[in-house]
Structure 1
Amino acid sequence: MRKEMLAERMKGFSGSQTSGMRNRARKLRAGGIHVVNFAAGELDKDTSPGIKAAARKAIDSGRTQYTDTLGIAELRERLAQKVSQKTGVTYAADEVGFTAGAKQALFNANFVVFQPGDEVIIPSPYWVTLPEQVRLAGATPVFLPTGHNGFQINVDELARLITPRTRGLILNTPHNPTGVVYSASVLEKIARLAMEHDLICIFDECYDELVYAPAVHHNIVKLVPEMKARTILIGSLSKSYCMAGWRAGFFAAPQAIVKAIANLQSHIASNPCNLVQYAALAAFEPANDAFVAGNLAQLRTQRATALELVQKIPGLPCVVPDGAFYLFPDVSSLFSKSFHGERVENVDRLAELLLQHAHIAIVPGSAFGCDQHVRISYAIPAEEIVAGLTRFGQFVHSLT
């Protein structure tokens, strides 16, 4: 008889550190402490009026029943159009689906294509949830270090990780937490490897509309159309459209995978929120193009502010991000120092000290498989960026 209450698969499984730090910051704020929350993975901005109006209209029109598992027909048709335009390859409505956030789309994808015995290659650092979802599917994540290469993928190093057990790889561009954007040439080479070794590619492009010129986002299917048959594209409305709390994500994949995801989702969530589906339809209207462009312009300005301030702090080298809204500076030079007699032993202790004494919330790089860096979101009000990074600088100057 099993005495453990929890299943074996939950041993060593913990919650998201990004969510945890964000929630701790909110709790301190609720207690009256002014915490600058650099842990947030969302823009500090309201959803556009047109999107909110569409949700209200859906409520008033009685759109409160169950829908098809992967979304209403109008939304799936619109998603198919959007993905077809992005890739230059035709996608039908039965090759796309809507989910309760991109995180659910990623989980569904992992769960239906990977199984025990499989290996899945993930560039490191990585978004905290990616390896955990691979493990939940019973597969084994295999990490490709990129820190020595400016967080860009070395395709030769990737090729050397492929074994007979390798089933797929997960790519995220623009990248969370580093902000790098993968080049067309690198993605083309990866696509050729995937086809040569019969690998499935999960391609997470949730930040695709948040790229700073002259950098350009590249979709792997557009670059190599043959990849459509082995690629699951993942998209989100959380970032560009300021809809993080709405939980609005989508995916595009071969029909067999879409059908399997529909079967899975029918047993775990029935369907995404009906009202959010109508809001998503409104989000894709041309009227919101200016809203998204305005968000990008705002983030470009905030990126410049954050970079200027971080570069003034001694010993914090930082790759300039080409996309998303994060800085990922190297803080390892601080580990040999002390704060009021207490040694800064590692990045986790640094994050604790910054929260307790400087009242700024950052996410330690250990959450992303990189224990020498921290993630700083600059998608917060400009005055908060200045206040928070000024405090960070003061904290560093106080170290001995």
Structure 2
Amino acid sequence: MFTNNDINFEALKRKAYNGRWAALEDGIIPLTAADPDFRTAPEIEQGIIEYIKDGYLSYGPFSGLPEFRRNVAEHFNTEKYGNFTPENILAVNSAAQGMFLIASYVLKPGEEAIILDPVDFLFKKSVEAAGGTITLCPVDTETGNIDLEKLVSLISSNTKLISICNPHNPVGKVYTKDILKKISEIAAAHDLWVMSDEIWSDIVYNNKEFYTYSSVSEEARKKSFTVYGFSKSFGIAGLRIGAVLCNDQEIFNDFIEKSNFNSTIEGVSTLSQIAASVALEKAKPWYREFLSHLQTNRDLAFNILAYSEILHPTLPEATFVLFPKIKNNLSSEEFARHVLQYGKVAIVPGSERWFGKGAEGHVRICFSTSQEILEEGLNRIIKSF
């Protein structure tokens, strides 16, 4: 199901944008945006077809279809130690939109959010778009560990939000229940909100336990939002579907009201919600095979790079990206340009633009493709020097 023969390259060259096949010259292998090269699960395709057979594409409930909210709540409760009801779920147009809505709700202009460094650029973008300011808390790029003492020292009277990425993109760290509990205690002691981006929480290896943030303590339940999406685990990025979760119903109702999800101003395509709902209800067997394939690819990529002279990888506990350290003296941008020019492989530089200041000296390599494409791409990178 996840071999090179299962990839429709013609379709990818027509449809896969965002730095991937459709955005690059022929002959270049994209190991860039975190999006699978494989078609989505047949159950999802069939679910969309079944939904539109009667020809009706009417408005759905403003906050989300009942089956969508029910399935997301059940998924978190059974797989991630959550304690959510369907009313704790809001359908949004992607996890990225969820991050922006939370930042807009929590922060007044000029107020501060602490985000991790390095981390995906959307954390910074969402805070800035809401008029907030950023303070960076360092993450060890080798281990993914957060410096909690440093985190405490960064908190000021202007700080209102701590944003975490769990599992961490791009390092691939899964934060333990104990670490999350400590973060919740820090947040509670300073009366801060916490946003936990958990879009990668389905792509976790070696059966490692994953705890959704709000499950780890009473403090975590009280003043937090969780963001979730379907683009990583089910390959439906183009449908722009995600969810915001919150255990405090009074706060959540206010959030929904102020985010304009109580009218037709906002709302999510019903087709997208059906696809996501079917994914959780019927496509888990596909997802488990996909996860097994990804773990094989992870190990393959790690082993190839570990024996190279140019990159030093660490083994991610989650996600389908590697974040190796550059061994030669090139900057992240220079390395990525060299590999594109001489190896015909596109990768993401660990530049401030994409991941923050702490990413410099690294590159991010996506491995959600076939074993053949992955091996060819990595060997091209190595041979380009």
- Provide the rounded CA distance (Å) in 2 between the counterparts of 1:22 and 1:87: 30
Contact 1:316 1:329 in 2 (8 A): yes
Q: Which has the larger radius of gyration?
A: 1
- Provide the rounded CA distance (Å) in 1 between the counterparts of 2:264 and 2:344: 39
Structure 2 counterpart SS, 1:122:
strand
Structure 2 residue 312 is the aligned partner of structure 1 residue 317: yes
Contact 2:17 2:23 in 1 (8 A): no
Corresponding residue of 1:247: 240
Deviations 1:15-55 (A, max 9, x none): xxxxx9943753333xxx21111102112211111111111
Corresponding residue of 1:34: 27
Deviation at 1:79, TM superposition (A): 2.7
Contact 1:236 1:249 in 2 (8 A): yes
Moved more, 293-302 or 228-237: 228-237
Deviation at 1:102, TM superposition (A): 1.1
Contact 2:185 2:219 in 1 (8 A): no
Unaligned 5+ segments in structure 1 are: 1-19, 336-343
Deviation at 1:75, TM superposition (A): 2.1
Contact 2:165 2:197 in 1 (8 A): yes
Contact 2:227 2:245 in 1 (8 A): yes
Equivalences for 1:1-400 in 2 at 5 Å? Answer: 22-23=18-19, 26-29=22-25, 33-86=26-79, 88=81, 90-147=83-140, 150-213=143-206, 215-253=208-246, 254-255=248-249, 256-266=251-261, 270-285=266-281, 287-331=282-326, 333-335=327-329, 344=330, 346-366=331-351, 367-369=354-356, 370-396=359-385
Contact 2:20 2:33 in 1 (8 A): no
Structure 2 counterpart SS, 1:284:
helix
Residues 258, 294 of structure 1: alpha-carbon distance in 2 compared, 3 angstrom cutoff: farther
- Provide the rounded CA distance (Å) in 2 between the counterparts of 1:90 and 1:147: 31
Aligned length: 363
Contact 1:28 1:35 in 2 (8 A): yes
Deviations 1:143-202 (A, max 9, x none): 111236622112112111111111011111111111111122211111111111111111
Contact 1:39 1:362 in 2 (8 A): yes
Deviation at 1:231, TM superposition (A): 1.0
Deviations 1:88-147 (A, max 9, x none): 554333321111211111111111111223111111110111111101111111111123
Deviation at 1:275, TM superposition (A): 1.0
Equivalent AA in structure 2 for residue 34 of structure 1 = G
Deviation at 1:265, TM superposition (A): 4.2
- Provide the rounded CA distance (Å) in 1 between the counterparts of 2:166 and 2:86: 24
Structure 2 counterpart SS, 1:175:
coil
Deviation at 1:237, TM superposition (A): 1.4
- Provide the rounded CA distance (Å) in 1 between the counterparts of 2:191 and 2:311: 41
Structure 2 counterpart SS, 1:239:
helix
- Provide the rounded CA distance (Å) in 2 between the counterparts of 1:355 and 1:21: 17
Residues 379, 265 of structure 1: alpha-carbon distance in 2 compared, 3 angstrom cutoff: farther
Residues 165, 225 of structure 1: alpha-carbon distance in 2 compared, 3 angstrom cutoff: same
Contact 1:87 1:221 in 2 (8 A): no
TM-score (norm 1): 0.85
Contact 1:89 1:225 in 2 (8 A): no
Unaligned 5+ segments in structure 2 are: 1-15
Deviation at 1:334, TM superposition (A): 2.1
Residues 282, 25 of structure 1: alpha-carbon distance in 2 compared, 3 angstrom cutoff: closer
Identity %: 27
Equivalent AA in structure 2 for residue 250 of structure 1 = A
- Provide the rounded CA distance (Å) in 2 between the counterparts of 1:24 and 1:86: 31
Structure 1 counterpart SS, 2:311:
coil
